[in-house]
Chains A and B, each alone.
Chain A
Amino acid sequence: MADFVTEFTRSLPSIADGVRVTVQATVFSAAVALVVAFFFGFLARSPRLLVRGSTRITVEFFRGTSLYVQLFWLFFALPVLGFRLEPMACAVVAFGLNFGAYGSEVVRGALNAVPRAQWEAAVALGMSPWQRMRRVILPQAWVQMIPPFGNLLIQMLKATPLLSLITIADLTFEMDQLRSLTGNTAQAYLAILVIYYALAAALNSLMKAVESAAKSRMGQGTGGA
């Protein structure tokens, strides 16, 4: 145990690097997923059957084919077709599309949950579609989206050890180095689980803060404007 602690302390810089890579991948993927979620979430409400149908198919495709396979497909199969992406790009694209597809359901549901009367009132006030969305609908829908988005974010964080399987030097990779260096398998795995737990707790409190900010902003927004 003492041995492991010394080695752990000596390896701290590389473990910190691993944490940085893991956090970076999570943040980038989350950003892509957010954009994808809004894009497909809005398209899924389109009045045109063709748009709605093709959105449905795309979303079901990314939700239905397993993140694991999507990541491996991008990393192993795409180069056969002549496109080679950096490992980190593979991860961000796979995570972004997969979790974005799940997120689009959240966006769609939250937009549908804004009471009909709010849409009608905004129309009655003569707001343009853009104004209506930005000032009336989205602030209300956004508050509802945050908790499920938070859950997806934690799930995404929990899927990041996959990165080590496509040669990215993330937290899992660095911990594995330490494990083979010291031979203290149990301690190494316990340590990485604790680090992941701390990261999840940090994300959780971040999302709580985002939620209360969104709530208070909505209170001011509807009163002032």
Chain B
Amino acid sequence: MWSWETAREGLPVVLSGFRTTLYATVLGSAVAISLGLVLAVIQRTSPRWITLPLRWTADFIRSTPVMIQLFAAWVLVPGLNALTLGIVVLGVHYATYTSEVYRAGIDAVPKGQWEAAVALSLPRRRVWRAVVLPQAVRNVIPALGNYVISMFKETPFLSVIAVQEMVHRANEFGSVHFAYLEAFTLAALVFLLASYPTSVLMRRLENRLAR
């Protein structure tokens, strides 16, 4: 049965794991958001012999489970610490999603903008940096935010390669003190308290940008 005593003891343990969870989410998102942009621009600017294999690889990564990818990377890339490895795998996995988001954003930039840039004979780099990307990125911020929230809720997968994130800590505490009820309930509540306000914020941002 539920014991407040145990819950009070477990809370700091769960919260210490939450720090790792947040850290992984922030860095993993940074990888996903920047790598996704690079992938999207490569898709638009490179010859077919680069884009085609790249698209196959991204498609493969996107449609296979991140948990297996973590295991595979864990045994195939020795010498990296688990947290770093996990951040890279999560980041690359989500980059295959964010690159699609950026692609849609780039496609949505009106054709006239490209033509105007050409008419002004801007160099290609400037066209991307000063004309296309600022417009594309602004429109996709809410979608990127939603992926950050989903990544946050998928960080527990990192526990399979022994990263001490929140669920890993909760599981440990639960098994040692025979207090699974308190441990996992606390973990669920922390997830809820962190993700709900963020998703409300994202919805607001979406409405504002849509106007």
Footprint of B on A, CB under 8 Å?
A: 60-61, 63-70, 72-73, 76-77, 79-81, 154, 157-162, 165, 172, 185-186, 189-190, 192-193, 196-197, 200-201, 204
Residues of B within 8 A of A73 (CB): 184-185, 188
Residues of A within 8 A of B189 (CB): 65
Task: Report the separation of the CA atoms of residues A126 and B35 in the bound assembly, to the nearest whole angstrom.
Answer: 56
Is B69 an interface residue, CB under 8 A from the partner? Answer: yes
* Contact pick for B181, options A80, A172, A196, CB 8 Å: A80
Chain B residue with minimal CB distance to A186? B76
CB distance from A205 to the nearest CB of B (A): 12
Task: Report the separation of the CA atoms of residues A64 and B197 in the bound assembly, to the nearest whole angstrom.
Answer: 10
Contact B67 A161 (CB under 8 A): yes
How many residue-residue contacts, CB under 8 A, span A and B?
107
* Known contacts A185-B75, A193-B72: A69-B65 contact under CB 8 Å: no
What would be 26 A-B contacts, judged by CB atoms less than 8 Å apart? A60-B192, A61-B192, A64-B196, A66-B153, A66-B191, A66-B195, A68-B154, A72-B171, A72-B184, A73-B185, A76-B171, A76-B180, A77-B174, A77-B180, A77-B185, A81-B1, A162-B67, A172-B65, A185-B75, A186-B72, A193-B64, A193-B69, A196-B64, A196-B68, A197-B64, A204-B63
* Known contacts A76-B180, A189-B75: A65-B191 contact under CB 8 Å: yes
* Known contacts A69-B156, A72-B167, A72-B171: A189-B71 contact under CB 8 Å: yes
Task: Report the separation of the CA atoms of residues A199 and B107 in the bound assembly, to the nearest whole angstrom.
Answer: 30
* Contact pick for A158, options B66, B180, B195, CB 8 Å: B66
Contact B180 A159 (CB under 8 A): no
Contact A76 B184 (CB under 8 A): yes
* Contact pick for A77, options B72, B184, B191, B199, CB 8 Å: B184
Contact A69 B184 (CB under 8 A): yes
- Told that A66-B156, A193-B64 touch, could you supply 8 new A-B pairs with CB distance under 8 A? A60-B196, A63-B199, A66-B154, A68-B153, A172-B65, A172-B67, A189-B71, A196-B64
Contact B188 A66 (CB under 8 A): yes
